[in-house]
Amino acid sequence: MGTTYLASYSTLGFLLVLGVLVSIAAFAANRLLRTQAPSPAKQTTYECGLDPVGDGWAQMQIRYYVYAFLYALFAVESVFLFPWAVVYDRPGFGVTAAAEMGVFVAVLALGLAYAWRKGVLRWL
Amino acid sequence: MNLLADALASGTVTTGEAVTFWILAPIALGGAIGMVLARSAVHSALLLACTMLSLGVLYMLQSGPFIGFVQIIVYTGAIMMLFLFVIMLVGRDSRDSLLETLRGQRLAAIGLGIGMALLLCTGLARGIGSVTAVGLDEANANGNVQGIAADLFTKYVFAFEVTSALLITAAVGAMLLAHVERRKGDRPGQKELSRLRFRKGNYPGPKAGPGVFATSDSVATPALLPDGTESERSISPVVPVRELTPAEAAPKGTDGGKRK
Amino acid sequence: MNGLESFGQDPWWLVGLKALAIFVILVLLTLFSIWYERKVVAWMQVRPGPNRNGPFGLLQSLADGLKLAFKEDLVPKAADKIVFLLAPMISTVCAFTAFAVIPFGPVVSVFGVETPLQLTDLPVAVLLVLATSALGVYGIVLGGWSSGSTYSLLGSLRAAAQVISYEIAMGLSIVAVFLTAGSLSTSQIVAAQQGGQEVTLFGTSFTIPGWYALLLLPSFIVFAISVVGETNRAPFDLPEAESELVGGFHTEYSSLKFALFFLAEYINMVTVSAMATTLFLGGWQAPFPASWWPGANEGWWPVLWFFLKVLILLFGFVWLRGTLPRFRYDQFMRLGWKVLVPANLLWIVVLAAVRAGTQQPEWSAQWVGMIGGAFLLVLLVIWFWPGRKKYEQATEPDTGLGGFPVPPLDLQVPPSPRVKRLTAEREPVSVSAGDDATAEGKEG
C-alpha cells in the first residue's frame, strides 16, 4: 500500500500524458510539413460527387437509444459480477454468494427476456 | 479537529496526491459548470464526461481503484446514451432555445437549487467536521475488490438485490416509451412490396441519373430522354432545375486555384 | 497488494524505457500488421500483394504512413473544429494506454534491475482495458458526429450501438476467467494458467495446458467473437462499411487525423489479441509442457512466445476479413443480444454451479470440461437448428395483380438483328486536375 500503490497509477498516468504529448507533437510536425492549399470546394462535405443540400443530420431510429439503455443495465450487472467472481471461491462465500447473484442475474435476465418477447431486440 | 487539518497534519496526503487533486478538481468543477453553460447539447454531454472521468481518477487516487474504473466504464456508457439521445432528438447545429415554455420553472429551479445546496452543505459540513478519517487501509487489507465483494454480499446484500429491481424498472420504462410494438403482419413483406412496385402506372425501372446524356455532369442538369426532352424524374426535388453558366459547368479546381 | 509487490518499484528511467518500448512496439506492430494483412489477404486471393518497397514489400506501410502524414489536412466547413481534432487523439491515446497492463514476460534483469516485463499492473488491470476500450469509442462517435456529414453520423451511430452491444458480451465472457483465476490483475491471471491439469479420459491419462481457452472454451469463443465486433473489424466493420457509408465515421478525415484513426484501429487489434493471449492462451508461457524445455519460461524467451501467439491471433483477424462478408446490421445485433449475452449468462451460471458443487481446493477440470462440452453442444445444436421453413413450391402460379407479364420459361432468345456492333465515336473528355483531394480511401 502507500507508495507502491500510487506508483502503479502514476506510471499509468505517465503513459497517458506521454500519449497525449506524442499526438500533439505529431500534429505540430504535420502542421509544419504538410501542404496547404485550401479551396472552398475542398471544404464541402463529401457526398459522392453531389453538392450537399441541408445539414448533415437525419432523423435516427429510437432503437439505438433502447440498446444504449440495455447497455447501461448490463454494464452495471457485469460490474457487480466482477467482484463476485473474484471472491466466489474464497471460504465464506460459495453457495450463499451464488444464490445472491442468481437472484440478481435472474431479475436482469427477466428484463432481457421481456425485451426479447416484446420484440425490442428485433432490429427490423 | 476537522478532517482536512487532520490529514494535512499527519502527512497522509502525499505530494503526488495533492498535485493530482489540484489538477483534477478544477477540471471536474470546470466541466460541471461548462456543462450547464454550454449551448450545444453535445458539448454539454462531453463536458459531463470530462467531469465523470476526473471523479473516477480521484477515486483511484483515494485507494478505491475498483470504484474508479467502474465510474469510468459505467458513466461512459451512460453518457453515450445521453449522447445518442441528443443526436436523435436535436439537429447537429441546434442551440438552446431561450424561450421558456414552462411557467414558473425559473422560480422552482431556484428554490430546488437552494434546497439541494443546503442539503449538500450540511452533509459536507458534518463530513468534514465531526467524522474522523480511518482511511481505507483496513478495508483494503485483502485487496480492494475483495473488500468490496465481502461487504456487498454480506452486509449490503439487500441493497444489492434492490439495485437489480431498480435497473429493470428503469429499463422496462424506457423500452415501453421507445418501442412501438408491431406484429409480423404489420410490415409489408417482399411480395407486397414488389406488387406495389409493379402496380399499374409505376415505372419499375431505375430512374435515369442526373446529367446523363446532358451537356454537363452537374446534378442540377436533367438527363435527356432518347427523344431529346429533359427528364424531370432524373433530378432530386430539392435541387432547382437550372441551366448552368459556363463558369459553373467548368470542372471545379481542387488544387487550391493554382491552375485555373 | 497481494502478489503485485514487484510492480511500482521501478526507477524512473526504467519506467520511461518501458513506456518508450510500448510506443515503439505498438507502432512497429501496426506497420507490420498492415503489411501482414495485405500480404495474407493477397495470398488468399492468389495475387502477390505489396512487394516493391523493401524486402518482401515490408517497408510499404512505412512509406504509406509517411505519405499520409504529409498530405494536406482538410477540415470541412460543416465540422465542429475542436471535436474534429480531439476525436482521433482520444482514439489513439486510449489505444496506447490499454497496453500498459499487458504482461510480455516474467521478471527479468534490465541493466542490473530486476523488473517484470510489464509497464504496470493493478489489482483491477482488466478493468483498465475495458475502460479504455469504452473510452476509445468516444473517438469514433465524436469523429463521426463532428464531421457534419450524414455518412459520418450514421457511421458513428453504428459504432456506438455496436460497441456497447459487444462490450457487454466481452465483459461477461471475462467473468468466467475472474471466477477461475480469482483475480482481476493480468499478471496473476497469467500465473494462474501455469501448469497443466492431469486428465483421465477413456482410460488414457494426459496433461492439458492450464490455458483458459481450453478450460473455459465457451468464454473464449464469446470473447473472440465480441472483440472482433469491438474493434470494428470485418465481418463486423459496419461503422466504416465502405460499400454503404463511403468511409463511415472517417469519411471526412484526411492526413494525420486519418492516420491516427488507422493507427488506433490496428493498435486495438493488437491489444485485443494480446488480451486474448493473456486471459485465455497462457500469456507469455511457452506453448508446450514445461518438461520439454525447462528454461523456456525464463529470461527473455517468453517475449517470443507472447508475440507468436499475438501474431497467430492477428492472422485470425485477417483470415476473417479474407473469408467472411459483412454482416447485415440486424443480423449483427441479433448475434450480440440474442446469442452472445444469454449464452454467456447461462455459461456463468453453469460454471458457478459446477464450482459450488465441487468446492474443494483441487477443483476438477474434468467436470468443468464435461459440462462445458455439453453446454457447447447444446449451444451448437441451438445455433445450427434449422429455423427457416423449407421453401415450398406454390401449387398454383401467383398471378399477383392480375398477372404481370413475364416471359415464358422456355423462351428462345431470338438472334440479334444487329449483325455488326455499333461503335460510338466519342469526343475526348477534358479531365479536371487533382482528383484525389476529397477522401483518402482505405486500401488493404
pLDDT bucket at B115, cuts 50 / 70 / 90:
very high
Q: What is the nearest CA distance from B134 to chain C, expressed in angstroms? A: 19
Evaluate if residue C426 carries a pLDDT over 70. no
**Chain-chain contact of C433 with B80 (C-beta, under 8 angstroms):** no
Give the closest-approach CA distance of A78 to chain C in angstroms: 6
* Higher per-residue confidence, C49 vs B228: C49
Transcribe C288-356 into DSSP letters. S-TTT-GGGGSTTHHHHHHHHHHHHHHHHHHHHHHHPPPPPHHHHHHIIIIIIHHHHHHHHHHHHHHHH
More confident residue, B183 or B165: B165
pLDDT surpasses 60 at C45: yes
A84 or B8, which is more confident: A84
d(CA C223, CA C275): 10
pLDDT at B156 over 50: yes
Asked if residue B113 has pLDDT above 80, the reply is yes
CB contact under 8 A, B144 and C131: no
Q: C137, C160 in Cβ contact below 8 A?
A: yes
Cα C57 versus chain centre, distance: 24
Going by pLDDT thresholds of 50, 70 and 90, the confidence category of residue C441 is: very low
Phi and psi, residue C247, nearest 5°: -130, 10
Helical spans, DSSP H, in chain A: 3-33, 63-87, 95-118
pTM here is 0.76
Question: Which tens digit of pLDDT belongs to each residue from C102-142?
Answer: 888 777 777 777 777 777 777 788 888 888 888 888 888 88
Task: Tell the residue number behind the cell numbers 502477390, with chain if given.
Answer: C48
Q: Please judge whether C123 and B73 are an interchain contact, meaning their C-beta atoms are less than 8 angstroms apart.
A: no
Domain containing residue A33:
7-117
pLDDT recorded at residue B1:
40
A21, B31 contact by CB (below 8 A): no
CA-CA distance, B150 to B185, in Å (whole number)? 52
Query: Does ipTM exceed 0.95?
Result: no
If pLDDT is split at 50, 70 and 90, which confidence band does B117 have? very high
Please tell me whether the peptide bond between C235 and the residue prior to it is cis, using omega within 30 degrees of 0: yes
Q: Mean pLDDT throughout A105-117?
A: 77
Nearest residue of C to residue A79 by CA position?
Answer: C171
How confident is the model at residue B112, as a pLDDT? 93
Q: Which CATH number do you get for residue A38?
A: 1.20.58.1610
Cross-chain Cβ contact A44/C77 below 8 Å: yes
CB contact under 8 A, B161 and A96: no
Give the closest of C122, C141, C433 to B83, CB-based. C141
C184 — contact with chain B (CB < 8 Å)? yes
**Which of C70, C164, C368 to substitute to test the interface with A, most A CBs within 10 Å?**
C164
Q: What percent of chain C clears pLDDT 70, i.e. is strictly above it?
A: 76
Q: Is A47 exposed, middle or buried (0-12, 13-18, 19+ CB in 10 A)?
A: middle
Closest Cα of chain C to A47: distance in Å? 8
Indicate the residue type of A116: W
Which CATH number applies to B8-94+115-140? 1.20.120.1200
With an 8 Å Cβ cutoff, is C234 touching chain B? Answer: no
| pLDDT at residue C70 is higher than 60 | yes
Nearest-by-Cβ selection for C432 from B92, B143, B251: B251
Q: What is the largest CA-CA distance in chain C?
A: 90
Provide the residue ranges of all domains of chain B, joining segments of one domain with +.
8-94+115-140, 142-179, 207-236
Find cell 483441487 and name the residue.
C362
Is the pLDDT assigned to residue C199 strictly greater than 70? no
Mean pLDDT (whole number) for B184-199: 76
Higher pLDDT: B82 or B115? It is B115
Question: Considering CB atoms only, which of C1, C97, C356 is closest to A15?
Answer: C97
Is the model's pLDDT at C250 over the cut of 70?
A: yes
Average pLDDT over residues C358-369: 56
Residue A88 lies in a domain: yes
Chain C closest CA to B222's CA: distance in Å? Answer: 19
Instruction: Give SS3 for B230.
Output: strand
Q: Is the pLDDT of residue A112 over 80?
A: no
Strand pairing report for C105-110 and C113-117: antiparallel
Report CA B222 to chain centroid distance, whole Å. 42
Q: What is the DSSP string of B188-205?
A: --HHHHHHHHTSTT---S
**Taking residues B236-245, what's their average pLDDT?**
62
* Alpha carbon distance C98, C120 (integer Å): 11
The Cα angle at residue C114 between residues C109 and C119, in degrees rounded to 5 = 95
**Percent of chain B beyond pLDDT 90?**
5
The pLDDT value recorded for residue A52 is: 65
Distances, alpha carbon B206 to alpha carbons B202, B213, B255, C192, C409, in Å: 11, 16, 35, 62, 25
Radius of gyration of the CA atoms of chain B, in A: 31
**How far is residue A105's CA from residue A80's CA, in Å, rounded to a whole number?**
10
Cβ B251–C430 below 8 Å, yes or no?
yes
Q: Using the 8-state DSSP alphabet, how is residue B54 labeled?
A: H
Q: Does B84 touch chain A (CB under 8 A)?
A: yes
Cell numbers that stand for B107 in this block? 422560480
| Encoded amino acid at C99, one letter | F
Task: Give the pLDDT score at A84.
Answer: 82
Distance from CA of C417 to the nearest CA of A (A): 39
